[in-house]
Amino acid sequence: MTRLAPPRKPRARSQARIDSIHDAARALLAAEGVASLSIYSVAERAGIPPSSVYHFFASVPALLEALTADVHAAFRESLEQPIEHAALNGWRDLSRLVETRMLDIYKQDAAAQQLILAQHGLTEVTQADRQHDIELGNLMHALFDRHFQLPALPDDVDVFALAIELADRVYARSVQLHDEITERMAEEGMRVFDAYLSLYLPPYLPKQTLPL
């Protein structure tokens, strides 16, 4: 059986060019939002010809999808950071911890807010975000299962992914009204996250003896 070769990583020079394109696009997103983004504005910001941007990204949605993947990579990394098992008194402690980590990413990254929370109407980006939410939900499910003895959850509903999306709707409302995630709306988003999970998780869950 023929084995497919793994995809080759970009050469150092190409990766440096991709990084410069990403940096330019993120700066434009943070300053002016998605509507201002074009291949030409990114090229001008990066100080390279538009053809160089087109070489790596055939369209603005393709570039935005790549940036969305970067944001979700940061979310995944936040879920993989160490958690002190002994400090968790209940599943809501874990819920607040992981949601606070994700909020910190949003608060420190205005481009992430524009990509995930702003109303840009780009179907490709929205679909990519939802697919990444499913992946994050699976990771979060595994994380909760590592620390607590979870009940059986439905197979036909992505409970943790939906909790993420519902909290994001609250944060998006805050960005729409205030151009930022306010402390009040951050708290509301976490309450929504917990409230949805509590439909499936009882108030008390036994902890795992040791993290699995």
CA-CA-CA-CA torsion sign (189, 184, 80, 148): negative
Give me 176's structure tokens. Answer: 């729409």
Q: Rounded to the nearest 5°, which phi and psi values hold at 189? A: -60, -40
Q: Indicate if the pLDDT at residue 15 is higher than 90.
A: no
Domain that holds residue 37: 11-58
Q: Indicate if the pLDDT at residue 9 is higher than 70.
A: no
Q: Rounded to the nearest 5°, which phi and psi values hold at 35? A: -60, -25
Q: Tell me how far apart the alpha carbons of residues 149 and 143 are, in angstroms, rounded to a whole number.
A: 11
Enter the pTM of the model.
0.83
Q: CATH number of the domain that 16 lies in?
A: 1.10.10.60
Give me 159's structure tokens. Answer: 């409970």
| Same domain? 66 vs 49 | no
Q: How many domains does the chain have?
A: 2
| Same domain? 105 vs 127 | yes
Give me 16's structure tokens. Answer: 């440096």
- Count of positions (residues) in the chain: 212
| Same domain? 78 vs 39 | no
* In a domain? residue 203: no
* In a domain? residue 85: yes
Q: Indicate if the pLDDT at residue 86 is higher than 80.
A: yes
| Same domain? 176 vs 191 | yes
* In a domain? residue 131: yes
| Same domain? 105 vs 168 | yes
Report the 10 Å Cβ neighbour count for 42: 26
pLDDT of residue 4: 47
Stronger pLDDT, 64 or 125, i.e. the higher one: 64
pLDDT of residue 209: 87
* In a domain? residue 6: no
CA angle 64, 156, 173 (to 5 degrees): 45
Please, which pLDDT band fits residue 212 given cuts at 50, 70 and 90?
low
171-203 pLDDT, tens digit per residue, is: 999 998 998 899 999 999 999 999 999 999 999
109-166 pLDDT, tens digit per residue, is: 888 888 888 766 667 777 877 888 889 999 999 999 999 999 999 989 999 999 999 9
* In a domain? residue 211: no
pLDDT of residue 198: 96
pLDDT of residue 154: 93
